C-alpha cells in the first residue's frame, strides 16, 4: 500500500469527529511500507545526479599548486586559486583535495587550504569529504574549519550529521562553528549550545563570538536573540526563516527514519536518529508524519516519540497523530505526542481514552496529554478519572498533575501532599506537580503562595549535587510537612 493510500484514514477520522464533539473511537488505520516506498522514490530521483568526473593525471600537480598558492596568499590574491578551482577544474579536483585534507602529515596551512577549496566547489562529494573531517578529525581546529566551510555551502544534506556531531562534540570552540553552520542552514538545533557559550564560554572571545552568531541569526529572522529559543520550541517556529529542503536532505531524513525500524534496530543508532530528527525544523514533522502508518511497529513508535520530543514545533503532525491514536499498538505514544504538540481537535478523542475499560497505559497517557494541551475542555475527564479510592495511584497521579497544568490544582493539592510522605507513591512526581502549583499561584499573586514557594525552594538540596535515595526521601518528607502547615491557608479553608 502506498503512503497516499493511507491518507484517507485521516479524512475518515476527522469526518467522524466533526467539530471534535464526538469522541467515538475509530478503527485502527491501515498500515503499509511507507518508509521503504519513500526511500525508493527519493533514491530513484537522486540516481539522475551524476558523480564528479575523475581528475586527469596531468592536472594533479595543478591542483597541488593551487592548494599551495591559496595557503600562501593574502587579500585579493586568494581569489586566483579559488576561481581556478571553481571555474576551471571544478569537481574533478575533489579526490585530490580530499587526499590533502586527510593527510595529517601535511602542513596545517595546506590541509586548511584544501578544505577551503572543497567548500568553494559546493558539491555533494566535496561536502562529504568535509563532513567526514568534522566527524572524524582528531584535531579540533580541523573539525572547526571544516564545519565553517560546510556552513558556507548549499549542501543541506549534512544538517543531520552536523546535529549528531554537535551532540558528541567536546571542544567548546568547535561548538561555535557547528552552531554557525546549522544556523546558516536555517536549523536552530544548536541554539542551546551557542546560548551557553555566550554566557559561560571559556574566555571573552568565545563568549563574544557566540553572542555575535546569535545576533546575526536574530537579525536574519527579524527577532531579538533572546526570542529565538522560545520561538524554536513553540508552534511559532515557522515564523523563523525556513529552509527549502533538497532531495538529498529529504533522503537523509528518511534514512534516519529507516534506522528506527526493527530490521536496523540498535540502541545507539535509534537514540541518535531520534535525537537528530527531533532537533530538525517544522518541515520534518510534516515530512515524517506518514511514517506513523508504516507497517513496522518500531518505526511507528519511534516516529511518535520523535514528534513528542519536537513538541509544539511539530504541531502540523497533529492530524496524523490523531489517526495513529486508533492504532492499539501506538495509541499511548500517540496520546503523549498529541499532548506535547498541542492539537485541540484531539481533546475529545483523548478524553474518550481516559475512561475505565481502556488499556491502563493508554488511560494514563491520555490523562497526561489532556493536561499538556492546556485546554479547559479536558477538565471533566480529568476530574472523572481522579478517584483515589478506586483508581490506581499512578493514574490518579497523572490526572492530578494534569489538573495542576489546567489551573485546577487546588482540587488535588491535599492528595499530592499526602503522596510526599508515602514511600510507595511517586513522591518526586507529586513534588514536581506541587512546585508547579505553587509557582502558578505565586505568578498569579495569590495570597501566601509566594512565601510558600520560597520555603519550598529553600528545602531543596545544594545545587549540582546528586542526592542519595535517603536524602530524596528526607526532602520529600520535609516539604510535605512544610506545605501541610500552610495548606489550609493557601486553599482558603
Domain ranges of the chain: 63-233, 409-492
Cell numbers for 193: 549550545
Q: Is the pLDDT of residue 14 over 70?
A: no
**Mean pLDDT computed over every residue of the chain:** 92
Give the global pTM. 0.89
Q: Is the pLDDT of residue 438 over 70?
A: yes
Q: Is the pLDDT of residue 87 over 80?
A: yes
> What was the pLDDT predicted at 8?
34
Quick one: pLDDT band at residue 50, thresholds 50, 70, 90? confident
Residues 6 or more apart whose CB falls under 8 angstroms from that of 378 comprise 347, 350, 351, 370, 371, 402, 406
CA 8 to chain centre: 28
DSSP state of 315: G
Buried b / exposed e along 116-149 (16+ C-beta atoms within 10 A): bbbbbbbbbebbbbbbebbbebeeeebbbbbbbb
Cα–Cα distances in Å, from 205 out to 179, 216, 226, 335? 16, 16, 20, 46
DSSP string, 7-68: THHHHHHHHHHTTTT--PPPPPPP-B-HHHHHHHHHHHHHTTSPPPPPPPGGGHHHHHHHHH
Mean pLDDT of all residues in 442-450: 96
The answer to whether 249 and 156 have CB atoms below 8 angstroms apart is yes
E-state strands within 279-347: none
In the numeric block, the cell 574549519 is attached to 145
The answer to whether 29 and 327 have CB atoms below 8 angstroms apart is yes
The answer to whether 115 and 145 have CB atoms below 8 angstroms apart is yes
Give residue-wise pLDDT tens across range 292-304. 999 999 999 999 9
Looking at domain 63-233, which of 2.60.120.10, 3.40.30.10, 1.25.10.10, 1.10.1740.10 is its CATH number?
1.25.10.10
Q: Is the pLDDT of residue 9 over 70?
A: no
The Cα–Cα gap between 85 and 81 comes to 6
3-class SS of residue 294: strand
DSSP state of 462: -
The answer to whether 296 and 262 have CB atoms below 8 angstroms apart is yes
The answer to whether 127 and 147 have CB atoms below 8 angstroms apart is no
> What was the pLDDT predicted at 25?
64
> What was the pLDDT predicted at 11?
35
Quick one: pLDDT band at residue 27, thresholds 50, 70, 90? confident
DSSP string, 145-175: HHHHHHHTSS-GGGHHHHHHHHHH---HHHH
Give residue-wise pLDDT tens across range 147-186. 999 999 999 999 999 999 999 999 999 999 999 999 999 9
Amino acid at each position: 500500500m502506498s503512503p497516499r493510500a493511507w491518507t484517507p484514514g485521516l479524512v475518515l477520522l476527522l469526518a467522524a469527529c466533526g467539530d471534535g464533539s464526538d469522541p467515538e473511537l475509530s478503527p485502527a488505520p491501515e498500515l503499509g511500507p511507507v518508509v521503504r516506498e519513500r526511500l525508493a522514490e527519493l533514491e530513484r530521483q537522486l540516481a539522475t545526479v551524476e558523480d564528479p568526473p575523475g581528475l586527469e593525471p596531468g592536472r594533479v600537480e595543478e591542483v597541488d599548486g593551487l592548494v599551495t598558492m591559496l595557503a600562501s596568499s593574502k587579500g585579493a590574491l586568494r581569489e586566483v586559486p579559488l576561481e581556478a578551482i571553481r571555474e576551471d577544474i571544478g569537481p574533478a579536483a575533489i579526490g585530490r583535495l580530499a587526499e590533502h585534507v586527510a593527510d595529517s602529515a601535511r602542513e596545517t596551512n595546506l590541509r586548511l587550504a584544501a578544505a577551503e577549496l572543497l567548500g568553494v566547489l559546493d558539491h555533494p562529494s566535496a561536502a562529504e569529504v568535509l563532513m567526514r573531517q568534522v566527524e572524524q578529525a582528531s584535531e579540533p581546529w580541523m573539525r572547526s574549519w571544516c564545519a565553517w566551510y560546510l556552513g558556507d555551502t548549499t549542501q543541506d544534506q549534512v544538517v543531520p550529521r552536523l546535529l549528531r556531531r554537535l551532540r558528541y562534540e567536546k571542544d567548546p570552540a568547535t561548538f561555535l562553528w557547528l552552531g554557525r553552520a546549522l544556523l546558516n542552514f536555517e536549523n536552530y538545533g544548536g541554539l542551546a549550545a551557542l546560548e551557553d557559550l555566550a554566557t559561560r564560554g571559556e574566555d571573552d572571545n568565545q563568549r563574544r563570538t557566540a553572542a555575535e552568531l546569535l545576533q546575526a541569526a536574530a537579525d536574519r529572522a527579524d527577532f531579538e536573540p533572546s526570542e529565538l529559543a522560545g520561538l524554536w520550541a513553540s508552534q511559532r517556529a515557522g515564523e523563523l526563516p525556513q529552509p527549502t529542503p533538497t532531495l538529498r536532505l529529504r533522503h537523509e531524513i528518511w534514512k534516519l527514519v529507516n534506522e528506527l525500524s526493527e530490521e536496523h534496530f540498535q540502541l545507539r543508532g535509534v537514540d541518535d536518529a531520534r535525537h537528530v530528527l527531533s532537533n530538525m525544523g517544522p518541515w520534518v514533522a510534516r515530512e515524517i508524519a506518514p511514517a506513523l502508518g508504516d507497517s513496522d511497529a518500531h518505526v511507528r513508535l519511534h516516529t511518535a516519540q520523535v514528534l513528542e520530543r519536537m513538541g509544539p514545533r511539530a504541531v502540523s503532525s497533529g492530524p496524523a497523530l490523531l489517526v495513529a491514536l486508533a492504532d492499539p499498538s501506538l495509541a499511548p505514544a500517540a496520546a503523549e505526542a498529541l499532548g506535547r504538540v498541542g492539537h485541540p481537535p484531539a481533546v475529545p478523542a483523548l478524553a474518550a481514552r481516559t475512561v475505565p475499560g481502556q488499556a491502563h497505559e493508554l488511560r494514563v497517557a491520555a490523562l497526561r496529554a489532556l493536561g499538556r494541551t492546556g485546554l479547559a475542555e479536558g477538565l471533566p475527564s480529568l476530574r472523572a478519572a481522579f478517584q483515589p479510592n478506586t483508581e490506581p495511584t499512578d493514574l490518579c497521579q497523572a490526572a492530578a498533575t494534569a489538573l495542576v497544568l489546567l489551573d485546577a490544582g487546588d482540587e488535588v493539592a491535599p492528595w499530592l501532599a499526602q503522596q510526599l510522605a508515602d514511600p510507595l507513591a511517586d513522591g518526586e512526581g507529586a513534588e514536581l506537580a506541587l512546585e508547579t502549583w505553587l509557582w502558578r499561584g505565586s505568578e498569579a499573586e495569590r495570597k501566601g503562595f509566594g512565601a510558600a514557594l520560597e520555603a519550598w525552594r529553600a528545602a531543596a538540596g545544594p545545587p549540582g549535587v546528586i542526592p542519595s535515595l535517603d536524602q530524596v526521601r528526607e526532602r520529600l518528607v520535609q516539604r510535605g510537612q512544610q506545605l501541610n502547615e500552610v495548606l489550609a491557608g493557601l486553599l482558603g479553608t
